[in-house]
Amino acid sequence: MAQEDLFKKIIAHSKEYGFVFQSSEIYDGLSAVYDYGQYGTELKNNIKKYWWDSMVKLHENIVGIDSAIFMHPTVWKASGHVGAFSDPLIDNKDSKKRYRADVLIEDYMAKIEAKIQKEVDKAAKKFGDSFDEEQFKSTNIRVLANREKLSEIKKRFVTALEKDDLAEVKKQIEDLGIACPISGSKNWTDVRQFDLMFETQLGSVSEDASNIYLRPETAQGIFVNYLNVQKTGRMKIPFGIAQIGKAFRNEIVARQFIFRMREFEQMEMQFFVRPGEEMKWFEAWKETRMKWHKALGFDEKKFRFHDHDKLAHYANAATDIEFEFPFGFKELEGIHSRTDYDLSQHQEYSGKKIQYFDPELNKNYVPYVVETSVGLDRTFLMILSNSYTEEKIEQENGKVDERVVLKIPASLAPVKLAVLPLVRKDGLPEKAKEILNTVKYDFNCIYEEKDSIGKRYRRQDAIGTPFCITIDHETIESNTVTIRDRDTMQQERIAVEKIHEILTNKTSFKDVFSKIN
Ligand code: GAP
């Protein structure tokens, strides 16, 4: 299936089956804002639990907090966001569409990368097992020419951004002949910086009202609570503070479903370390976080690191974990070595000493910080993209049936078990409810008695329920049920007493955690 079609199908499926809805849809929606439906919310909660427990439960030296969205306005001056948290925007005069100038250039570079990959794939097919990818990339003339082109574009682009030379960014777009994807026109406005922070007013009467911001990252709530947590938790360096919460950015372009939203959720962890040890921890967290993604069991080739070309004002090293979404490799998570920038800035602006006394070194210092920051919504989209599967099933009568199944890892699946009486009579519904009562306190379950059993299976496949049990006449006689596995569609007859144990073993995070710990 073409990747573009896959993406459209995922969006349609998300709506049809109660995962994601456009916000305020009955009023024609609000751009780049989404609501999560009944199954989407369960999936999101399970992702949060996976992340939270992997941080807070698996690490004795990481604790979690929940700071407010509203913060003192000076926080954002100290952090460097006021006046500097912006993206370069450009408009196409013919289509009237707005773009991020840097994204236009990045997309252009992605096309060259795709050309390189095509050459590599072609050669790999031709040479089979004897193919040496590295050697091919460093000797093939077309690949070398494209790599050279890429490095020149990147150098020019990064230099322009570092110098904040927006005229040069526009010139590069023109020189590369980049056209508006909608109109095909190259008629561009100048590039301008666009402020991403939402501002609002705090206070009931206009005289006491002060301008405050909706936080564009959750991290600052952790920095300003560093002292509180370190002291009350008697934390010793190295230690981390984790948080999950909403963040807001007035994104210029938001056309990729829940990939780029104006209101979204982040799962961030700030790890406080000794100055000079930050690169060691940066490498360690890169590895741990990559394992976290891969432990879910999806195709490992879809994840890669991408080091930042241009570092943020607070960082001395930064990398992204990218995932191959249906629209290409894009950032899923950022891992940043933020130095002592944020804590030092808050120390200066607040006038409060923000330091750590290190008994082993017998000295005070402002800790350095390594941050891991993953978008909850992007993780959700990564899981949906990996899970959405269309299958053709050959029936015994020779007919071919089709099903859409979400192969969501069982530990993350919104519903763990569907309890289905075969018919609505003969005491089967009563027996089914009796069984449901033995598992519903520990697992999210669904009870369904309407429609044929085949239709009910398909509905559960479509929301990713890993197990269905069917209560039939034999259940009444022998206290057994058939249990159906979502992925293999195999059915097995088991004793009713076994259901709880099977669900416990197959849906817990234990296996996944064992791969990252
Ligand atoms: N505290 C560091 C920070 O905020 P970032 O790279 O700007 O770094 C971290 O954001 C993560 O937050 C990204 O990797 C992405 O997963 C998520 N994210 C950022 N902007 C987003 C948006 N507009 N919509 C959805 N997720 C977003």
- Decide if pLDDT at 164 tops 90: no
Structure tokens at 168: 């040069």
Which of 258, 264, 311 to probe ligand 1 with, by most ligand atoms within 8 A of CB? Answer: 264
Ligand 1 centroid–CA 323 distance in Å is: 14
Counting every residue written for the chain, the total comes to 517
- Residues 36-57: b if buried by 16+ CB within 10 A, e if exposed: bbebbebbbebbeebbbebbbe
Contacts 24+ apart (CB under 8 A), 198-207: 198/248, 198/249, 198/250, 198/262, 202/70
| CB of 369 closer than 6 angstroms to any ligand 1 atom | no
Residue nearest atom 25 in ligand 1 by C-alpha distance? 260
Ligand 1 centroid–CA 297 distance in Å is: 24
Ligand 1 centroid–CA 355 distance in Å is: 28
- Decide if pLDDT at 29 tops 70: yes
Q: What is the pLDDT of residues 259-279, one digit of tens each?
A: 999 999 999 999 999 999 999
Where do the CATH 3.30.40.230 domains begin and end in the chain? 86-195
Ligand 1 centroid–CA 470 distance in Å is: 43
Ligand 1 centroid–CA 133 distance in Å is: 33
Q: What is the pLDDT of residues 429-462, one digit of tens each?
A: 999 999 999 999 999 999 999 999 999 999 999 9
Where do the CATH 3.40.50.800 domains begin and end in the chain? 415-514
Cα dihedral value 294, 297, 299, 301, nearest 10: 20
pLDDT for res 208 = 66
Return the CATH number of the domain spanning residue range 86-195.
3.30.40.230
Beta strand segments in 164-288, E:
192-195, 199-202, 210-213, 239-248, 263-273
Mean pLDDT of 286-293: 97
Ligand 1 centroid–CA 266 distance in Å is: 7
Where do the CATH 3.30.930.10 domains begin and end in the chain? 1-70+211-391
- Decide if pLDDT at 142 tops 80: yes
Residue nearest atom 17 in ligand 1 by C-alpha distance? 375
Which of 378, 379, 381, 385 to probe ligand 1 with, by most ligand atoms within 8 A of CB? Answer: 378
Residues 302 and 324: beta-carbon distance below 8 Å:
yes
Compare 469 and 85 and report the one with higher pLDDT: 469
pLDDT for res 3 = 77
pLDDT band (50, 70, 90) for residue 463: very high
Nearest-atom index, ligand 1, CA of 375: 16
pLDDT for res 255 = 75
pLDDT for res 313 = 77
Which of 331, 341, 374, 376 to probe ligand 1 with, by most ligand atoms within 8 A of CB? Answer: 331
| CB of 268 closer than 6 angstroms to any ligand 1 atom | yes
| CB of 87 closer than 6 angstroms to any ligand 1 atom | no
- Decide if pLDDT at 490 tops 90: yes
pLDDT for res 205 = 65
| Superfamily designation of domain 1-70+211-391 | Bira Bifunctional Protein; Domain 2 (3.30.930.10)
Q: What is the pLDDT of residues 377-406, one digit of tens each?
A: 999 999 999 999 999 988 888 889 899 999
- Decide if pLDDT at 194 tops 70: yes
**Cβ neighbours for 501, distance < 8 A, ≥ 6 positions apart:** none
| CB of 319 closer than 6 angstroms to any ligand 1 atom | no
Listed range (208-217, 473-482, 484-493) with the worst mean pLDDT? 208-217
Return the CATH number of the domain spanning residue range 415-514.
3.40.50.800
Mean pLDDT of 285-302: 96
| CB of 265 closer than 6 angstroms to any ligand 1 atom | no
* pLDDT mean across residues, the chain: 94
Ligand 1 centroid–CA 249 distance in Å is: 9
C-alpha 517/C-alpha 507 separation (Å) is: 18
pLDDT for res 517 = 78
Mean pLDDT of 486-508: 96
Residue nearest atom 20 in ligand 1 by C-alpha distance? 260
Mean pLDDT of 460-480: 97
| CB of 375 closer than 6 angstroms to any ligand 1 atom | yes
